[in-house]
Amino acid sequence: MIEESRLHVMIDEETINKRIEELGQEISRDYAGKDLVLVCILRGSVMFMSELAKRITVPLSMEFMWVSSYGNALTSSGEIRTLLDLNADITGKDVLIVEDIIDTGRTLFYLKKELKDRGPNSVSIVTLLDKPQMRVAPVVVEYTGFVIEDKFVVGYGLDYQQQYRNLPYVGYVE
């Protein structure tokens, strides 16, 4: 558990909702007439994808993957493991990977290549949070909610040892 005095609001709920609405409009415009598949990266991206999907106005389907590089640590181990794979064939579809946070980019670099090898028309990324200053893998992020500084964050799906995902805001640990 994190001491309450160490947890501070970084991005409040109202600001998050406004930005997700804007992302939904942008994605709807860009994917009009396409066969869109949202791929939620479990577990942290569930809240973000749920809210984003409600704001996308074009038809879409949803798939889920569980890819881990953290375990219970504060920093990425660098070892990427696929714990749950897609159920559907994405050949000929336009895939939008929905991620909660990108820092080193290793996971998304691996995942984007993995999905491209399955024959979709396109593979793009939308993330709620981005720490580009931490990037070590060359990942292009097409849609970004917020660029944040390098702090350990929780809330809005992000966790510490499976706790704090249910906070309606993004907080940082000091």
CB-based contact 115:64 (threshold 8 Å): no
Does position 9 have pLDDT exceeding 60, yes or no? yes
| β-bridge mates for residue 11, sequence order | 170
pLDDT at 69: 67
Does position 73 have pLDDT exceeding 80, yes or no? no
pLDDT at 84: 78
CB-based contact 169:12 (threshold 8 Å): yes
Closest by alpha carbon to 146, among 45, 20, 50? Answer: 20
Which residues are catalytically annotated?
103
pLDDT at 78: 62
Distance from first CA to last CA of the chain, Å, rounded?
13
In this structure, which amino acid lies at residue 20?
I
Residue 166 — pLDDT band, cuts 50, 70, 90? Answer: very high
pLDDT at 6: 87
- Region 38-66: mean pLDDT is 95
Does position 168 have pLDDT exceeding 60, yes or no? yes
DSSP-H helix ranges across 44-119? 46-55, 106-116
Helices and strands: H and E segment counts in the chain: 3, 9
pLDDT tens-digit readout, 88-115? 999 999 999 999 999 989 889 999 999 9
